[in-house]
Structure 1
Amino acid sequence: MSMLEKTIAAPATGAWVREARKAPRRRRTLVTGTLGLLVFALLAVNILLGSYTVTIPDFFAMLGGKTIPGASFIVMENKLPQALLGLLAGASFGMAGTIFQSMLRNPLASPDIIGISYGASATAVAAMVLFGVRGAGVSVAAIIGALLVALLITALARGRGGTGLILIGIGAAAFMQAAVTFLLSRADITNAQDIMVWLTGSLNSANWERTGILAVAMALLLPFIAGGSRDLRGLALGDDTASGLGLNVPRARLMLTIVGVLLAAFPTAAAGPIAFVAFLSGPIAKRLNGGAASLPLSALVGSAIVLAANFAAINAIPGTSLPVGVVTGALGAPFLLWLLISSNRANQGG
C-alpha cells in the first residue's frame, strides 16, 4: 500500500472504530428508554385499570389530596402501594439475580435457585410463627436468614467452583423448604394460610409501611449498587484480567455478595419470594443488551415482569386475585426446563 493510500485509509479506519464503539452505547440507550417506557406504562395500567378503573384527572386529584368517595381508598391504600411495591420488588430481585449470575457465570445462579431467597423466607416465617414478629422485624429476620445461608453455601462450596456452589445451594433450598413446612405445621390455621400466600409471592397485602421500608432500603443500597455495577463489568472479564486492571477481586466479590443478598432479602420480606423474577431478569436484560450484563436493565426487566404478572394475576380470573408468584412461576418454570435441556445438549456436544 502506498503512502497516499495509507493516509486515506487511516481516517476511514478511525471513523469505523469510533462508530463501532458508539453502537453498543446507542443500543443500551435505546433499550433503556424502551424498557423505561414499558415499566411506566405497566405502572399506570396497574393503578388506573383493572376491576376498578380510575381516570387520569381523578388520579392526579387524589394525589393532590382530594377525597373521592370509594375511589380514594381503593387507589391510595390498595392499587398505588401495590403497584409501587411491585415496581421496587421486581427491580431489586432483578439486580440480585444478575449479580449472582454474573459472578458465578451461570444463569442458574440466581438467589431463588441457590437457596438465598429460601433462607430469607425460612427465618422470616420462623419469626412470624414462633415469635409473632410483624412489620420491620420480618425484614430483619429475612436479612439475617439470607446472609446466613449465603455464608453457609459459600463456606461449603469453597474450592468447588460455581457449579458446586449451585448444587450446594439447591440442597440448602430443599432443607429450608422442609423447615418452612415444619413451621407451618406449628402455626394456627389463619396464620398458616396468610403465610402460604406470602410464600408464593404476593402483592395483595401491600401497604405503605412495606413499600416505604423497601424504598428506603434500596435508596441506602444505591451507592453500593453503582460501585458494584463497575466491579461486575470488571469481573465479567475474568478474575485474572480484572486483577490485572487493578480490581481487588476478593473485596469486589465480597461486596457484591453482600449487596446481592440484601437485594434479595428486602423484597422477600416485603412481598415474599416471588418465583423466578431474579432468575429471568438477568438473561432477558443480557439478551437485549447484546450479551453484556447490566444492573439498570435487569432492574427494569424485573419491574416489568412483576407489574405485568401482577395485573394478570388480579384480572385473569374474574372475582379471583391470584398471588403474583403463581404467574411468574408459570413463566419461569418452562424457561428453567429449557435452560437445563439446552445446557445438557451443549455438554453432550462438547
Structure 2
Amino acid sequence: MTVSSAPPAGTVGETDKLRPRRPFGGPRPFRLTLVPVSGTLRPRLVVVTVLLAVAVLAALSRHVSVGEFAVPLPEVIAALTGSGDPGTTLVVTELRLPRAMVGLLAGIAFGVSGALFQTMTRNPLASPDMIGLTQGAGTAVAAGLVLGWDGGLGTQALGLLGALASAFVVYSLAWRRGTTGYRIILVGIGVSWVCTSATDYLLAHGGRMQAQAAFGWLVGNLNGRDWQQAGPLAAALLVLLPTALLLGRLMRTLLLGDDVAAGLGTRVQTVRLAVLLCGVGLVAFATAAAGPVAFVALAAPQIAQRLAGTAWPPPLAAGLTGALLILVSDIAARTLIDGTELPVGIVTGVLGAPVLLWLLIRVNRAGSGG
C-alpha cells in the first residue's frame, strides 16, 4: 500500500502553492495599510481650521496694534506696505511685528508637536512639557548663562541643543527592542524632573544677574524678540510643518495599538522614531526662540480635537490653536498691568493649569492613561 504524503485538496499545503512567494532572502515588500485614515474631507474639521486661521489673523492684527503707543489697524497696514510715517513704521515693523511673528510661529510649533506626541503615545497628557524636552532646553540655557558654558552660543542654540540632548536620553532609556508610548512617557517624566532639579541648582548657586537672565527666559518670554529669533523658526517650520502633517496621517494606525498597526503593515518603530524627531525639532526651535512657554503644547491639541470632533488631535488645527493661545496670552500680558509687560509663560500657565486638571480628572474617570 502506497501512502501519499501530499496534503489533501483544500488544505493549507495546496493553498500555499497559490500564494505569490518572494525569493529566499529577498526584501520584504513594504505595505502600509491605513485603515483609519480616510481620504475624504471632514467638513467640521475644515470649517474649524478656517475659523481658527481667521481668529489667528485677527489676534495678530490686534497684537501689532496694542501697546503704549496705540496704532490703528489702517496705519498698521500702511506701515506694512511702506506708505506709513517713519515713526509708525519703525514701531510696527521693527518692534511689534517680530514679537508677534515669534509668538505666532512658536505657537504653531508647540501645538503641532503636542499633537504628534499625544497621537504617538495615545495619551492626552503627553507633551514636550511632560516628557522632559523643554526642561532639557532650560537646563542647557541655565548652564550657559550661569556657568558660562555657552561656548559663544546664544540662548537659541543652547535651547536647541538641550532639547535634542534630552530627546536622545529619553529615547535611549526607553528603548528595549523597540519603544512604546508608555515607556517614553515614564522615562520622559523622570528625565524632566532630573533636568528641573539641575536647573534649580544652577539658579540657586549662580550669580544674581545670571540667574535673573536665565529665569526671564525659563518662564517663556516674548519681550525683546526680533527678526533674529523669527527667521530660524520660520525656516524650520517650512521643513518640519509639512513633514508633521504627513506623519500625522501615517501614524493614525498607531491609535489601534502597536500589534494591530504592525499587522496592518505599518512599520511602527520607524514611524515612531520619525514622529519623535519631527516633534523634537519643532519644540526645540520654538523653545529656542520663545523659551519654554508652559502648557501650550499640552492644551492646544486637546482644544483643537474637541473643536474638530475628531478621534485624534488634528496637527494643523492644533498648531493654529497654539498660535492663538500665545498671541492672546501675550496681548493680556502686555495690557493687564499698566506699565508692566509680564512674560507670556505666566499667562499661559494660568490658562493651562485648569486644562491640565480637567485632563487628569477625565483620564481618572476613564480609568486609563490615554
TM-score, normalised to structure 2, is: 0.81
Counterpart of 1:86, as a letter, is G
Is structure 2 residue 126 aligned with structure 1 residue 126?
no
Consecutive aligned runs of 4 or more in structure 1 exceeding 6 Å deviation: 21-24
> Is this contact kept in 2: 1:285–1:294, CA < 8 A?
yes
Do structure 1's residue 77 and structure 2's residue 97 form an aligned pair?
no
The corresponding residue for 2:188 is: 169
2-side partners of 1:135 and 1:304: how far apart?
34
* Matched AA of 1:194: A
2:351 to 331, 340, 344: 331
> Residues 102 and 293 of structure 1 are in contact (CA less than 8 Å); yes or no, is this contact kept in structure 2?
yes
Match of 1:296 among 302, 316, 339: 316
**Aligned match of 2:85 in 68, 71, 89?**
68
Amino acid across the alignment from 2:351:
L
The answer to which structure has the higher helix fraction is: 1
Contact 1:24 1:290 in 2 (8 A): no
Between the aligned residues of both structures, percent identity stands at 43
SS in 2 for 1:236: helix
1:277-292 alignment, distance < 5 Å: 277-291=296-310, 292=312
Match of 2:332 in 1: 312
The letter of the residue matching 2:330 is N
Kindly provide the amino acid, as one letter, of the partner of residue 195 in structure 2.
M
Query: Structure 1 residues 213 and 119, CA, compared in 2 at 3 Å: closer, same or farther?
Result: same
The alignment status of 1:229 with 2:248, answered yes or no, reads yes
Partner of 1:267: 286
Extract unaligned runs of 5+ from structure 1.
1-20
Which of 26-35 and 138-147 deviates more?
138-147
Displacement, 1:62?
Answer: 2.0
Counterpart CA distance in 2 for 1:187 and 1:54 is: 41
Q: Deviations over 1:308-345 (max 9, x none)?
A: 10101110111111100111100111221222233233
1:14: which partner in 2?
none
Distance in 1 (CA, whole Å) between partners of 2:294 and 2:191 is 17
Query: Which amino acid counterpart does residue 310 of structure 1 have in structure 2?
Result: D
Aligned to 2:165: 148
Q: Tell me the C-alpha RMSD between the 2 structures.
A: 2.4
State whether residues 128 and 134 of structure 1, in contact with CA within 8 Å, keep that contact through their aligned partners in structure 2: no
Whether the 8 Å contact between 1:136 and 1:213 is mirrored in structure 2 is no
How many Å separate the matches in 2 of 1:60 and 1:346?
50
Contact kept in structure 1, 2:150 and 2:158, CA below 8 Å: no
Shift of 1:133: 4.0
Query: Are residues 1:92 and 2:109 paired?
Result: yes
Deviations 1:2-39 (A, max 9, x none): xxxxxxxxxxxxxxxxxxx8996111111111111111
Q: CA deviation at 1:131?
A: 3.5
**How many aligned positions are there?**
328
* Corresponding residue of 2:129: 112
